[in-house]
Structure 1
Amino acid sequence: MNPLSKLALPPKLEPYRKEIEKTCKPYVHINTVINSPKLYESKFGGNPYLPLEANHPLDSQGKPMLLMAQINFSEVPSYKNMPIQGMLQFFICGADNENAGDMYGLDFDHPTSQKDFRVVFYEDVTTDENKLTTDFTYLEDVDRDMFPIPQEVGLQFEIKSEPVSPTDYQYNDIESDLFDDEEMEEIYWDELTGEYHKMGGYAFFTQSDPRDYDEALRAYNVLLLQFAMDDEADIMFGDAGVANFFIKEEDLRNHNFRDVLYNWDCC
């Protein structure tokens, strides 16, 4: 079945369905599951997959960072340019960096600087826990007061399709072709935000897309991961905020995760 046929629209937007569907892209929708994932399974929060020979990522103060997410691609449906196997991890420091003025590991002046956040990729994943770190007592003293993901939750994935998010900078190029009525545009902004956990597709922002006012950042053209507000999993960045990671398409194809654009904002 064509995924576009499943696109749910508010009744008042039905006359614009054809134009809206032209903007649709597939993406990997992520659902959180309240369970106890294994060390080698996909999850938000909790202890990371860490081979015995690997080092735990440290922040700019030399302290261990906390796991935001890990994606085991063997559990993810095939998606353009994404790995078909391997473990992708996202770490941030647990507290504000008072020296740099950072929060949630982001240096707003240098959003690709992985000094207080880190993206790690393992090409091969073992399920033998005898080959993995299992003692994480060294994390007990890490400050978690500001950590936005307070509990470990499992993840499930499915391919869906979505129209352009009104807060993604790409919306600016097509909005004039979508609506000739201000009321319809307001309905679109209210109903089709793209505010959920995902990989690929369009990004959601509570404030603005940094790529909108900095054209150089548009080279980071793939949404690698989005964390949205999640009441069930108790996930929130600031006041009803969202976090996004972007990567250049060529780097994604080459499994090069050293150059990633990180952004978060809140209301």
Structure 2
Amino acid sequence: MSGMFDFCVFHRDGVCLMHIPAESSERIDSNLVSGFLSAISKFGEEIEEARVKRIEFEGKMVVYEYYGDAVFAVRAAGEFQAEAERLLVELVSALGDDVREKLKSWRGDVAEFEPLKVRAMELLKRRGAVSMTERFRRVNEKLNELRDIPGVKAVALISNRGFMIASTLTPDFDEKVISAIAPSIMRMGLEGLKEMRLGRPRNVFIEGDGGVLVLTDVGERAVLLVVAKPDANIGYIFLEMDNAAKSLEKMLGGV
């Protein structure tokens, strides 16, 4: 899963005024994006009599902000909701008044918004939000390093909200199930140790007939999971997971 951000400004009638896609979605039709977001927005206003502020898909989410006849929207991976909301506030603050003013005399030519799009791109680049490809490449490299440890079968990095960030899971693993249970297991461990006054769990270790499951906290944002064979060197895996968790926490730091 990518954490890259998509930014869109559209007129309330669905016309795309500007769209800055994440690299992974650069071929998406901008008018298709704005039309879809506009339809969801109108549904909220007309059916629910309320403005849609956020929509969530499987692993992805979109946050909205209304500004006159314009609607600003940022799409990102679900675990980056806080960053997406902060980015949206910055974009509206930087561009909102100019977009609203331009719409007063607008005659339908979206090219008029090109200078504002350039400003938006500059802001996104300063924030490092247009492309986080390098960051997620390093995340995947770190997971692959763990995967290469003898006896390790699979590795996954899962947000505490239950979204898969990255993994080396093979098709015989159910990604949805693993994404759901890993944070829950860590929470149970946290509650159990808290009750016994033993502090926060560093690792959770579960042994079964066919192998072992090891979980490590990655700060407050994610859980690192390793599935290993029964004869794997668990002590070495613990050591490498702790080191990887420290690196991954920095990689997943503020956008």
**TM-score of Structure 1 vs Structure 2, range by shorter chain:** under 0.3
TM normalised by structure 2 equals 0.23
TM-score scaled by length of structure 1: 0.22
Query: Relative contact order (alpha carbons < 8 A, sep ≥ 6): 1 or 2 greater?
Result: 1
> Which structure's CA Rg is the greater one?
2
